[in-house]
Amino acid sequence: MAVLKKYWFLIGLSFLFLLNVIDPSHVTANVGTWIKSHHGAEITIITIFIISGMIIDADQVKAGIKDIRGTAAALMLIFVIAPLLAWLFGLMIDDIQILVGLYLVGVMPTTLSSGVVMTGAAGGNIAHALFLTLIANMMSAASIPVTLGALLGPHAGDSAVIIDKSAMALQLFNLIILPLAAGLLINRWTRGGIRRFSSKMQILNQILILVIVWMALSQSKNAILLEYKKTGMIVFIVFLYHGCLLAAAWGFAAGCKIGKGRRESLLFMGGQKTLTLSIILQVKLFPEYGLTLAVCVLHHIVHLFMDGYLAARIGHAQTQK
């Protein structure tokens, strides 16, 4: 029972993956795809940020904005170390679809939701995690065309990496800023009383992360099944890739003397990559590469497993003190 309570998120993630892949009727995948096609992902992300705003402490906000070293280290991981590692891993990959998938993952900004949720679950500064989400996703509108174009090089062919910056900014405003503001207003209206339920709301946010994974996995099920022989190799590659990012984050935390309470946002925001934007770019730029979508989804699932375990260990260690 103690194991279930401690690792329920990882157990739920495993169950979702197996259910979607093994289900011969495809009902699970069809329902997930239908929900996603009816704005299920957007509604889920909006709900996550409303809840996040409701449980933020004003003191955390001030500390998050003032954490210049933590912010600089996280942005270095997101925009420099991650693409560089993707390039190094790409030197050992022959399959163009896997290569493009890894490059897409490497240039992505931090997650819109799961990193924030895990930062809170590990006892870190949620406000700083939210700040990193906002600034990294805004910067990515300018960084992705340049970085992805450089990584693809001759592999890109005639594909032009064009991103509508105005549309991306509007999407971020609607998905993050407005819901977060609504949550903060509710927090203020209740005079912080809503934060009494913060532990339960953090659990709800983790459940919503599982819903997002379900929708994404449903969309990529066919590619995973058709290329099942390569799935194991992809899992191994993204496991090593994210492991290297985590190691770099720990190194940055130690080198910059970022201790407990501050390093959690660096760990989870610096290494996690948004799935939503990678799917959008895959569909628009490389629709013929079905396995590329599988790489993006499998990386997301693998890093949730790894970071979910890490968040549970860190959070459990703090509650024992």
Residue 143 domain flag: yes
Flag whether 87 is in a domain.
yes
Helices 27-37 + 198-226 axis angle, to 10: 110
Asked which of 12-16, 68-72, 191-195 is least confident by mean pLDDT, the reply is 191-195
- Which CATH number characterizes residue 9's domain? 1.20.1530.20
Cα distance between residue 118 and residue 308, in whole Å:
7
Coil/strand/helix, residue 251 = helix
CA distance 101 to 103: 5
pLDDT in tens, 86-95: 999 999 988 8
- pLDDT, tens digit, 9 for 90 and up, residues 158-199: 444 555 566 666 776 787 778 888 888 888 888 767 877 777
Tokens of 103: 């490059």
pTM: 0.76
**Nearest residue to 70 via CA among 14, 15, 131:** 131
Average pLDDT over the chain, rounded to an integer: 81
Tokens standing for residue 234 = 């992809």
Residue 9 falls within a domain, yes or no?
Answer: yes
Instruction: Please report the pLDDT score of residue 77 as a whole number.
Output: 95
| Residue 267 contacts residue 129 (beta carbons within 8 Å) | no
Q: Which of 210, 208, 213 is nearest to 276 (CA)?
A: 213
Distance CA 129, CA 120 (A): 9
The answer to the question of residue 194 being in a domain is: yes
Domain count across the chain: 1
Confirm whether 169 is domain-assigned: yes
Domain with 53 in it: 2-316
The radius of gyration of the chain from alpha carbons, rounded to an integer in Å, stands at 19
Mean pLDDT over residues 204-224, rounded? 80
Other CB atoms within a 10 A radius of the CB of residue 189 amount to 11
Q: Which of 76-85, 159-168, 211-220 has the highest mean pLDDT?
A: 76-85
Q: Write the DSSP string, 16-61.
A: HHHHHHH-TT-HHHHHHHHHHHTTHHHHHHHHHHHHHHHT--HHHH
Residue 321 counted as domain residue: no
User: What is the model's pLDDT at position 45?
Assistant: 82
**Residue type (1 letter), 124:** G
Q: Above 60 in pLDDT, residue 320?
A: no
